[in-house]
Chain A
Amino acid sequence: MRASSGRTAGGSGLRPPSAVVKIAGVLFSLALTFLGLTAITFVISRVMPVDPVLAIVGDRASNEVYQQVYLQLGLDQPVYVQYLKYLGQLAQGDLGSSIMTTRPVLEDIRRFFPATLELATVATLLGIFVGVPMGVFAAVHQGRWPDHIVRVVALLGYSAPIFWLGLVALLIFYAKLGWVAGPGRLDVFYDGIIDPVTGILTIDAALARDWDIFRNALSHLILPGAILGTFALAYIARMTRSFMLDQLSQEYILTARVKGIPESRIIWGHAFRNVLVQLITIIGLTYASLLEGSVLTETVFSWPGIGQYITSSLFNNDMNAVLGGTIVVGACFVGINMLSDLLYRLVDPRIR
């Protein structure tokens, strides 16, 4: 808040630390979290009762071949040495190769992750732009029919199994009505026409100004986006409602009413600004958890996302792919948490 001179942290304690120090602190804890994440996932991948050698050579390989690969993988060394080696490779952007796809894991992730990113972003935006107004609307009409409707919708969206919702939606909107395209990200004959720039098909098509492909990609995106969005929306609407009810019962709302402020300003200008502080965390968490890839939605809609990639790698004992995917997803999670933490500080003057 107050301008502080360029003094370093840990000073007298009377002055709030400067912005630079705070950011350095955040980055430090970020690095530490990331290191912990890699350590835990690495150890888990090594103690799992899975033989990485067998996964590569197959169960008919001779003992010599087995031994050779065993040594090549460095499995004879202690786990901490293996971990340090892995970290060294990671620092160079090398996540190893996938057995299943035979390509470098990083390249795989570059192909699969944008699909998840696209879906998660659409779902989160839906959750924000529909869920937040729904929650506010419900709270303002607490106990009356708009509130009941929102609560039932939120409960349904939260508790309906997502694969069931997905299948029913496909049946109605794709098979019966033909309003949207079916599973997958694009119709087959559009596949591979445009260059992947971002990997997000709608954006790539728009960049290439190919509006046919853009429309097709969008048509494929709508249904899974809406299904996943319903889930996000239900959660965000429920949380917004309860945060809003809490704020509306605060004393400062009565103060605003005493001042003669119009009701809409009281709701959006006074109460919602306080709700926003709490909502940032909720939205950040929702987005981060959707970025993990939702395996069920991706499976139902044949959406080639990171969730599917990690799951099928796991079934194939493809540990490099699992490890790489987990680390990328974890990094996203940590990154979004940090971002929401920064936003939170920006919105709430009490913790700046």
Chain B
Amino acid sequence: MPQAPLLRVEDLQVSYNTPTGLVQAVSGVSFELGREKLGIVGESGSGKSQTGRAILGLTAPGGRVRARRLEFDDVDLLRADARSMRRIRGGCISMIMQDPKYSLNPVMTIGAQIEEAFLVHRKTSTSEARRRTLDMLSAVKIRAPERVYKAYPHEVSGGMGQRVMIAMMMIPEPDIIIADEPTSALDVTVQLQVLAVLDDMLSEHRMGLIFISHDLNLVASFCDRILVMYGGKVVEECAAAELEQARHPYTRGLLNCLPSLDGEQGELPVLRRDPAWLTAAEGAQ
């Protein structure tokens, strides 16, 4: 990306104090993000979601975040006070959560929840907020915005819920969207619709995206650049188009595990883990 990056992460560390000792969830992750689509792939426990949460300052209680640098647009996210963090959350960096069944407030109407996201960052009238909310609902391809506006989360389907989520996180027009497994809870056909909506919105508003997923192929087709995480570290970084040429044995192993539609398929190889991956810092860059 030619312009100055929006987000700079350097040597990010997230650790948790647990009764059984210190658990290092993220150890030394570095990357920069411009107005592009960055995918972070990894298995569960690889620290990809923790990375997303640490950027927003929403690490769960008991967690400790350190970094040589964690900056959004020259604001130090580690030293920002609660008030400026609130302004950044939603307003500058937002996050699309995994499952709309749990991530929408069950006793508030969808309209009220989207409106609230807008009103907390903009000083406008409620009628203006309502108009914007309805526009936003149509923008995420909801056919009856008026009806969905008045509906409660349990009254809409998963795919619609996730589009509502996208509308809610995009309405204050943030610069960066973190999408944490945004389609994992959805059916395959609905996944594609939701991704198409997300893609439309991103290119329209020129936002940066961090797409967190465990689905290597999905990320490769959706993003520009990919980080592969393993055991809290980035083991590989490459352009999405060049994923086939990935060099790290973990990435290669993951790619080899995927069945292919063409030709005869024999027994799939099982990923063999090498303990050396955990100690070798930042793999092949």
Q: Chain A interface (Cβ within 8 Å of chain B)?
A: 1, 250-252, 254-262, 270, 273-274, 277, 347-350
> B247: which A residues are within 8 A, CB to CB?
none
> B121: which A residues are within 8 A, CB to CB?
260
Cα A350 to Cα B151 with chains together (Å): 11
> B168: which A residues are within 8 A, CB to CB?
255, 259
Minimal beta-carbon separation of A210 from chain B (angstroms): 45
Cα A1 to Cα B58 with chains together (Å): 35
Partner of A260, one of B86, B98, B99, B107: B86
Q: Is B129 an interface residue (CB 8 A)?
A: no
A-B contacts, 12 of them at CB < 8 A, read A251-B103, A252-B102, A252-B106, A254-B103, A258-B89, A258-B90, A259-B169, A260-B120, A261-B120, A273-B105, A277-B107, A347-B107
Minimal beta-carbon separation of B245 from chain A (angstroms): 36
Q: A270 contacts B105, CB within 8 Å?
A: yes
Q: A258 contacts B105, CB within 8 Å?
A: no
> B117: which A residues are within 8 A, CB to CB?
259-260
Partner of B152, one of A252, A256, A260, A350: A350
Minimal beta-carbon separation of B92 from chain A (angstroms): 9
- A349-B105 in contact given A1-B155, A261-B120 (Cβ < 8 Å): no
> B154: which A residues are within 8 A, CB to CB?
349-350
> A261: which B residues are within 8 A, CB to CB?
86, 90, 116, 120
Q: B58 contacts A350, CB within 8 Å?
A: no
- A349-B97 in contact given A257-B89, A260-B120 (Cβ < 8 Å): no
> A250: which B residues are within 8 A, CB to CB?
102
Q: A274 contacts B106, CB within 8 Å?
A: yes
Minimal beta-carbon separation of B151 from chain A (angstroms): 9
> A350: which B residues are within 8 A, CB to CB?
106-107, 152, 154
Range for the number of chain B residues in contact with chain A? 20 to 34
Cα A256 to Cα B104 with chains together (Å): 9
Q: B58 contacts A274, CB within 8 Å?
A: no
Minimal beta-carbon separation of A132 from chain B (angstroms): 17
Q: Chain B interface (Cβ within 8 Å of chain A)?
A: 56, 58, 86-91, 94-95, 97-99, 102-109, 116-117, 120-121, 152, 154-155, 165, 168-169, 172
> B107: which A residues are within 8 A, CB to CB?
273-274, 277, 347-350
Q: How many cross-chain pairs have Cβ atoms below 8 Å apart between A and B? A: 78
Cα A254 to Cα B103 with chains together (Å): 8
Partner of A251, one of B99, B109, B116: B99
Cα A349 to Cα B172 with chains together (Å): 27
Minimal beta-carbon separation of B77 from chain A (angstroms): 14
> B95: which A residues are within 8 A, CB to CB?
258
> B106: which A residues are within 8 A, CB to CB?
252, 274, 349-350
Q: A255 contacts B120, CB within 8 Å?
A: no
Minimal beta-carbon separation of A143 from chain B (angstroms): 9
Q: B105 contacts A260, CB within 8 Å?
A: no
Cα A260 to Cα B155 with chains together (Å): 25
Chain B residue with minimal CB distance to A275? B107
Q: A260 contacts B97, CB within 8 Å?
A: no
Minimal beta-carbon separation of B230 from chain A (angstroms): 25
Minimal beta-carbon separation of B65 from chain A (angstroms): 15
Cα A33 to Cα B169 with chains together (Å): 49
Q: B108 contacts A259, CB within 8 Å?
A: no
Q: A255-B103, A259-B120 are in contact. List 11 more A-B contacts (CB 8 A).
A: A250-B102, A251-B97, A251-B99, A252-B106, A255-B97, A257-B89, A259-B90, A260-B87, A260-B88, A262-B120, A350-B106
Cα A256 to Cα B86 with chains together (Å): 11
Q: B89 contacts A254, CB within 8 Å?
A: no
Cα A124 to Cα B121 with chains together (Å): 40
Q: B94 contacts A270, CB within 8 Å?
A: no
Partner of A254, one of B97, B108, B120, B172: B97
